[in-house]
Structure 1
Amino acid sequence: MVGIQDRAEEWDVRDGVTPFRGKVTGVRSEQVRMPDGSWAQRDYQLHPGSVAVLALDEEGRVLAQRQYRHPVRHRLWELPAGLLDVPGENPLHAAQRELFEEAHRKAAHWSVLVDFYTSPGGSDEAVRLFLATGLSEAEEERYAAHGEELELETAWVPLDELVALVLAGELHNPTLVTGVLALSAARARGAVDTLRPADAEWPARPF
């Protein structure tokens, strides 16, 4: 494959303002110069970035969790995930924390499954999704859940079943969809053992 690679690029910007900044995210409004020389307004969500974990057990089952998501008025099946809201935090350490807090699990082996932007037309959120294997119960005291996590449902689902549900239109969380399809593709190619190491560079969110 020649030339099929995303590349960093930044067009000229003027009149940038941040009219809203919430607890975690904000909204940025900018005038961006188009190729014909005109200026167009672009509004997008500012986001610290996220990490997620596809935890795979020895039976080929994936840890899935169902959680209420208010903006879409749905309970969605998802993968353990969380914000990179601690300045300078290593993404792997953040992923390990999320696996512990949401599933009370630890993993012996970690690798980068896939990196992606959730909605690059309207947000700068970048996600690093890790594959975690060699799972075991954590020894520490369980994390005290709060908010939506108080009604978190957990299931261990065979990977092939999740792929079928995604293709049938039954599952919609972008991280789960991306993760199960990526892992299925990696297994089909015999490439699971050649995934990037857990500390691979991540230009979208350097630390």
Structure 2
Amino acid sequence: MTAELGPDDVRDRPERWKVVEESTAFTGHVFNVRRDRVEMPDGTGGGTEVVGRDVIEHLGSVGVLALDDQDRVLLLRQYRHPVGRLLWETPAGLRDVDGEPLRALAERELLEEAGYRAARWDTLADVFPSSGMSDERTRIFLARDLELVPPEEIDFERVHEEADMPVVWVPLDEAVRKVLAGDVHNMIACVGILAAHASRASGYRDLRPADAPEG
């Protein structure tokens, strides 16, 4: 019988159930699909059964919630083919450079996608965007003390989905209302906006440093 749990027990922890068979179903540029046969409880009070689970092996990603000195959030609009929408998002990118520190990746994405540098960086949240099917990890940073960089100093060519990404500055309180109204759907943007709003209420005292380990 499972012991009664309370609020102090709410902390994700590592766990790995026995995998009796593993195979590769698909290999792609950004992600692979692995097919596992996993030994799981059968619900009879002690028995187990082996069931199939498809796992998307993902490079991982970072996101940047950029907040200016007027408490405005930087959002950019990007076409997302899988959902068939133009989504308002924060700067974000894949962990596609081996050994690159997460903050360095976040700095690069903020510069390349939005044209800004930030002097102050903190960790807002670490999330698994779709833990039921993917191992993707996303760290969302809070970037403040922003500086606009002249376009001629940015060595990056925007193509495909990034070719036309308009940028809008939205007051943080208004951004929260847009998330709750269903006007903004991107996971990194939603989590980043709500986390920044909650953190602001405590004067940003509870934020972890930008180089905090991922749990």
Q: What TM-score results when the alignment is normalised by the length of structure 1?
A: 0.94
1:123 maps to 134
For each residue in 1:113-153, what CA deviation from the matched residue of structure 2 results, as whole angstroms up to 9, or x when unmatched? Answer: 01101000011111000000000022523521111100111
For each residue in 1:75-110, what CA deviation from the matched residue of structure 2 results, as whole angstroms up to 9, or x when unmatched? Answer: 000000000011121101000000010011100000
Over 3 Å counting, the alpha-carbon distance change for 1:10 and 1:93 in structure 2 is same
In percent, how many aligned pairs have the same letter? 48
For each residue in 1:135-187, what CA deviation from the matched residue of structure 2 results, as whole angstroms up to 9, or x when unmatched? Answer: 00225235211111001111011111111011111111111111111111112
Instruction: Write the letter of the residue equivalent to 1:133.
Output: R
Distance 1:88 1:141 in 2: 22
1:191, distance to aligned residue in structure 2 (A): 4.5
> Which consecutive unaligned segments of at least 5 residues does structure 2 have?
1-6, 42-46
Instruction: Write the letter of the residue equivalent to 2:89.
Output: E
Please say if residues 104 and 142 of structure 1, whose CA atoms lie closer than 8 Å, have aligned partners that are also in contact. no
1:16 maps to 22
For each residue in 1:46-77, what CA deviation from the matched residue of structure 2 results, as whole angstroms up to 9, or x when unmatched? Answer: 10100010000000100001100000000000
Instruction: Write the letter of the residue equivalent to 2:82.
Output: P
> Which consecutive unaligned segments of at least 5 residues does structure 1 have?
none
Distance 1:187 1:59 in 2: 13
Distance 2:85 2:187 in 1: 14
> Residues 134-149 of structure 1: matches in 2 within 5 Å?
134-138=145-149, 140-149=153-162
Which residue of 11, 27, 36 corresponds with 1:5? 11
Instruction: Write the letter of the residue equivalent to 1:201.
Output: P
1:44, distance to aligned residue in structure 2 (A): 1.9
| Count of residue pairs the alignment pairs up | 202
1:202 maps to 214
Bigger radius of gyration: 2
Please say if residues 104 and 143 of structure 1, whose CA atoms lie closer than 8 Å, have aligned partners that are also in contact. no
Which residue of 197, 200, 208 corresponds with 1:187? 200
When the two chains are superposed, the root-mean-square deviation of aligned CA atoms in Å is: 1.1
Q: What TM-score results when the alignment is normalised by the length of structure 2?
A: 0.91
1:112 maps to 123
Find the residue that maps to 2:182 and give its secondary structure: coil
Distance 1:141 1:40 in 2: 50
